[in-house]
Chains A and B, each alone.
Chain A
Amino acid sequence: MNRPSLWEALRGVVRRDLLLAMRRRSDVVMSVFFLVIVASLFPLGVGPEPAVLRTIGAGVLWVAALLACLLSLGRVFTADYLDGVLEQMVLIAQPLPVLVVGKVFAHWIVSGLPVVLLSPLLGLQFGLDGEALGVLVLSLLLGTPTLSMIGAIGAALVLGVRGSGLLVALLVLPLYVPVLIFGAGAVTSSMAGIGGEANLSLLGACLVLSLFFSPWATAAALRIALE
């Protein structure tokens, strides 16, 4: 019997998606540019008042990160669904939820990690100080994988539906609210001097919960989409 080990299958899924992302770098670059532009528009619109910028900085950066993540959700499953790779993936003799984790992980590396790495630079535009920048990076590091995990459910649910881009936003954005509140809250509370630990722990809890539940829900949605 030919059966890949779980590790082999997982590694294969991640490898293929990363290889594809390398071939289509423009997709990755575009969502990073989107983030940079959105985050730079706010100081231009609100005006250069340092106090105002410091107050809104965390929230703006988090919303921008969230929108960048939302924009890239269409890439997680749609292409695979259209060219038949998804049905081959479902037929791999390993639990589908585990393979889904592989896909979401690859998606996060490509669209979430650049956001995390870029955030200190963007934070400087808003006059965030060193400690706040550290908390911002940490909160995004915990928060963006959660966004990808939750987003994968939405992306799988809207497969094959017309106008899916808008629909996925409507489905997923309400679910992003807690992550946004805790993420931006971590930065603002650390700036207020009460420390961001509580919010960061809550973000961690969100990540663990989404890691546990989202793969099952996504796998179920994928099976329905392929019927």
Chain B
Amino acid sequence: MLQTVALSCLRGDRRLFSDLNITVQPGTLLAVVGENGSGKTSLLRMLTSLLSPEEGAILWQGQDIREQREQYCAQLTYIGHLNGIKDDLTAMENLSLSASLVGDHCDGPAAHAALEAVGLRRQAHQLPTKVLSQGQKRRVALARLWLSARTLWLLDEPFTSLDTAATGLVTEQLHAHLKRGGIAVVVTHQEVGLPSGLVQRLRMNG
């Protein structure tokens, strides 16, 4: 269970949000929506522990994440609006290196399977990612979701530059994750195509 208690965020001298209380139960997706600049990404970065809250706390299984940073990090997969992939490495290398760095199981066949699951054809696997299109790069980054058995997924605009087919694939994967009892927090401008019982919406007002 992921909880925020009286969370507030100050960037520079602007207060983006204050006194934010949310609880996300296992098997639920929290869709964070709102205008540009309303603090969606800041909230997500706070949830990853990259950004520390001005006031308030974030609780994971009832305990402050600052007190259990490493255990908490071991349970989350974060894909930010930067893809976190290296242009000079191939899609395969990027995926297997980033997965093995965080400790997800990833051998050659598993990496191929993940890339194919996200709709990246076999020919593209051995190409340096700098020659791939924006959407294909995004797919390489999102392929990590197919290797991640972690409970908490934090995704920042996962559907940007994806085509309809890929959006569908990612949504299906999110659905499977929720059915396993996982939690997802997704910052998005689009409707997430999931049954409404699984989705909890948070509207941020700048």
| Chain B positions within 8 Å of A226 at CB level | 50-51
Contact of A4 with B101 at beta-carbon distance under 8 Å, contacts A83-B85, A91-B76, A92-B73 already known: yes
Could you tell me which residues of chain B, from 129 to 154, have a CB within 8 Å of some CB in chain A? 148-150
Q: What string of 1s and 0s marks CB contacts (under 8 Å) between A12-25 and chain B?
A: 11011001100110
Chain A contact residue count (CB 8 A cutoff): 32
Q: What string of 1s and 0s marks CB contacts (under 8 Å) between A77-121 and chain B?
A: 001001111011111111100000000000000000000000000
Report which of B70, B93, B100, B128 forms a contact with A8, defined as CB distance below 8 A.
B100
Closest Cβ neighbor of A226 among chain B residues = B50
Cβ B86 vs Cβ A83 within 8 A: yes
Could you tell me which residues of chain A, from 176 to 207, have a CB within 8 Å of some CB in chain B? none
A227 adjacent to chain B (CB < 8 Å):
yes
Question: From residue B2, how far is it (CB to closest CB) to chain A in Å?
Answer: 16
Q: How far is the CA of A87 from the CA of B48 in the complex (A)?
A: 10
Q: How far is the CA of A152 from the CA of B71 in the complex (A)?
A: 27
Q: What string of 1s and 0s marks CB contacts (under 8 Å) between B42-78 and chain A?
A: 0000001111100000000000000000110111101
Question: From residue B74, how far is it (CB to closest CB) to chain A in Å?
Answer: 4
Cβ B71 vs Cβ A23 within 8 A: no
Contact of A16 with B97 at beta-carbon distance under 8 Å, contacts A84-B82, A85-B84 already known: yes
| Chain A positions within 8 Å of B83 at CB level | 83-84
Q: How far is the CA of A2 from the CA of B73 in the complex (A)?
A: 9
B197 adjacent to chain A (CB < 8 Å):
no
Contact of A227 with B102 at beta-carbon distance under 8 Å, contacts A83-B84, A84-B84, A93-B73 already known: no
Tell me the number of A-to-B contacts counted with CB atoms below 8 Å: 99
Q: How far is the CA of A94 from the CA of B50 in the complex (A)?
A: 14
Closest Cβ neighbor of B104 among chain A residues = A2
A9 adjacent to chain B (CB < 8 Å):
yes
Report which of B86, B100, B148 forms a contact with A85, defined as CB distance below 8 A.
B86
Cβ B86 vs Cβ A20 within 8 A: yes
Contact of A23 with B89 at beta-carbon distance under 8 Å, contacts A4-B101, A92-B102 already known: yes
Cβ A88 vs Cβ B73 within 8 A: no
| Chain A positions within 8 Å of B81 at CB level | 84
A3 adjacent to chain B (CB < 8 Å):
yes
Q: Taking beta carbons and an 8 Å cutoff, which residues of B are in contact with A?
A: 48-52, 70-71, 73-76, 78, 80-89, 93, 97-98, 100-105, 128, 148-150
Q: Taking beta carbons and an 8 Å cutoff, which residues of A are in contact with B?
A: 1-5, 8-9, 12-13, 15-16, 19-20, 23-24, 79, 82-85, 87-95, 223, 226-227
Give me 18 A-to-B residue pairs in the complex whose CB atoms sit less than 8 angstroms apart, sorted by A's number. A2-B102, A4-B100, A12-B97, A16-B97, A19-B89, A19-B93, A23-B88, A23-B89, A83-B82, A84-B81, A87-B48, A88-B98, A89-B101, A92-B73, A92-B103, A93-B74, A94-B70, A226-B50
